[in-house]
Structure 1
Amino acid sequence: MTKLYLTRHGETEWNEKGIMQGWGDSPLTELGKNQAKWLGDRMKDLHIDVIYASPIGRAFNTAKIVKGDRNIPLITHDGLKEIRIGGWEGLNQEEMKSLSEENYYNFWNVPSKYIPTGNGESFYEVKERAFEAINEILEKEKGKTILIVTHTITLKSYLTALENRDIDTLWDPPFIKQTSLTEINFKEDGYDMPLVACMEHHEYAKKEFNEFK
């Protein structure tokens, strides 16, 4: 059996301001670093053979925090990058909407009709890229336990492809919150998914913080 854990990076400064990042980047906030630490604490007693991360700083730095001082290989893979959003990169929601209200609506509601600007990618392209990248990792690391640290749309695109769903279901619940944990077990006869976007470690951390405040 091959066990795959999937997570999203911690909160960033641009997340906090509602700015689109795409292939751009901004530093993890203190909360973002804590979110990564909470996930690291949750996973510290779980055996992990290898960690793969998007090379974009927010994901790679989250992976480093989750890894901690454990002797686990940490490998970057370009196929795990977030959707490339071209002319929208660095803009906030209102600025994107002002460029094209219809395209903005389609991005969040009808991904099949979203038209990328500049050198951006379509949702179809990200779906194909993410599925191909993760399948490549699964084949290379067959029989191992793998952690992948990536981005919301990349992760959601992979799940959409894995479950053979239409691209317009991409934003269906659950939402992939920061450092939420998804677990997939691949067996000879298929796969099962015991965890999807699990946030239990956030609740534990919140309770602990309140107790010692």
Structure 2
Amino acid sequence: MPVQQLYLLRHGQTDFNVQGIVQGSGVDSDLNERGRWQAERFWQAYKDLPFARVYTSRLKRTHQSVHKFIDLGLPHESHVALNEISWGTREGTRITPQEDAEYKYVLDEWLAGNDLAHLPGGESPADVAARQRPFIELLKTRPDDEIVLVCMHGRAMRVLLCQLMGYPLSCMDEFEHQNLCLYKLHYTGSRFTIRNFLDVSHLAE
């Protein structure tokens, strides 16, 4: 069976990222100037790869991050499974663990293994994992798509990587991320392996 290559990408920078405002799945923001530059750098580095398909979330910051690949006419699918975790009533606000006890409590609960913890009105990591599983099965049913590009979001990407690697969700934070970072994975038909971890070489200035 051929090795399937999965290029897993976080979206480019938005003004909310700079301001420390959580976007989640309810804030459909645009890339800022830096984010558009990052998208262009990724395009220049990988435009010659023969991607079979492009997957994005339903949020426009992922579409904008890979729009030149989509504009080539490559098959493109948007999946709610790839949306960012919902931060509930806190979306659109600036929250940090240092300044917000409720937010810090939820993050600490996740680290301790409570993947059902969530902010008011929001999703838990277990919720995100559940909506991602049909997408993972979809990927596995398309082995002929030898090279695929997936653009999604930071926290949801951490959840997805845990699932692909068979790790508990308490390991989420082991998968560091930044805007327009790349994880490259290989799938052999039985298991995923990470080949590139937090790759930002395409962003070198």
TM-score, structure 1 as length reference: 0.84
Q: Which residue number in structure 2 is paired with residue 133 of structure 1?
A: 135
Offset of 1:165 from its aligned partner?
A: 1.5
CA–CA distance in structure 1, aligned partners of residues 134 and 107 of structure 2: 28
Q: Which residue number in structure 2 is paired with residue 100 of structure 1?
A: 102
Q: Which residue number in structure 1 is paired with residue 85 of structure 2?
A: 83
Does the CA contact (< 8 Å) of 1:6 and 1:148 recur in 2?
yes
Aligned AA (2:60): G
Does the CA contact (< 8 Å) of 1:84 and 1:121 recur in 2?
yes
CA–CA distance in structure 2, aligned partners of residues 198 and 163 of structure 1: 18
Return closer, same or farther for 1:22/1:110 CA change in 2, 3 Å cut-off.
Answer: farther
Q: Which residue number in structure 1 is paired with residue 60 of structure 2?
A: 57
Q: Which residue number in structure 2 is paired with residue 70 of structure 1?
A: 72
SS in 2 for 1:39: helix
Q: Which residue number in structure 2 is paired with residue 191 of structure 1?
A: 192
Offset of 1:151 from its aligned partner?
A: 0.5
Sequence identity percentage: 23
Q: Which residue number in structure 2 is paired with residue 25 of structure 1?
A: 28
CA–CA distance in structure 2, aligned partners of residues 184 and 72 of structure 1: 20
- 1:168-212 Cα distance to aligned partner (Å, 9 max, x none): 11112x411111111112114533321122111111xx1xxxxxx
SS in 1 for 2:173: coil
Does the CA contact (< 8 Å) of 1:40 and 1:68 recur in 2?
no
Does the CA contact (< 8 Å) of 1:12 and 1:32 recur in 2?
yes
Return closer, same or farther for 1:77/1:100 CA change in 2, 3 Å cut-off.
Answer: same
Structure 1, 94-103 or 118-127: larger mean CA deviation: 94-103
Offset of 1:25 from its aligned partner?
A: 2.2
- 1:20-79 Cα distance to aligned partner (Å, 9 max, x none): 0001122211000111111111111111011010011111211214x1642312211111
Does the CA contact (< 8 Å) of 1:112 and 1:124 recur in 2?
no
Structure 1, 68-77 or 7-16: larger mean CA deviation: 68-77
Offset of 1:102 from its aligned partner?
A: 4.7
- Give 5+ residue unaligned stretches, structure 2: none
- Give 5+ residue unaligned stretches, structure 1: 207-213
Aligned AA (1:12): T
Return closer, same or farther for 1:120/1:96 CA change in 2, 3 Å cut-off.
Answer: farther
Q: Which residue number in structure 1 is paired with residue 38 of structure 2?
A: 35
Return closer, same or farther for 1:115/1:189 CA change in 2, 3 Å cut-off.
Answer: closer
Does the CA contact (< 8 Å) of 2:13 and 2:34 recur in 1?
yes
Does the CA contact (< 8 Å) of 2:83 and 2:153 recur in 1?
yes
Q: Which residue number in structure 1 is paired with residue 157 of structure 2?
A: 155
**RMSD (CA atoms):** 2.3
Aligned AA (1:44): K
- 1:71-110 Cα distance to aligned partner (Å, 9 max, x none): 3122111111000110110110259944626525527754
Asked if residue 112 in structure 1 is aligned to residue 118 in structure 2, the reply is no
Return closer, same or farther for 1:189/1:118 CA change in 2, 3 Å cut-off.
Answer: closer
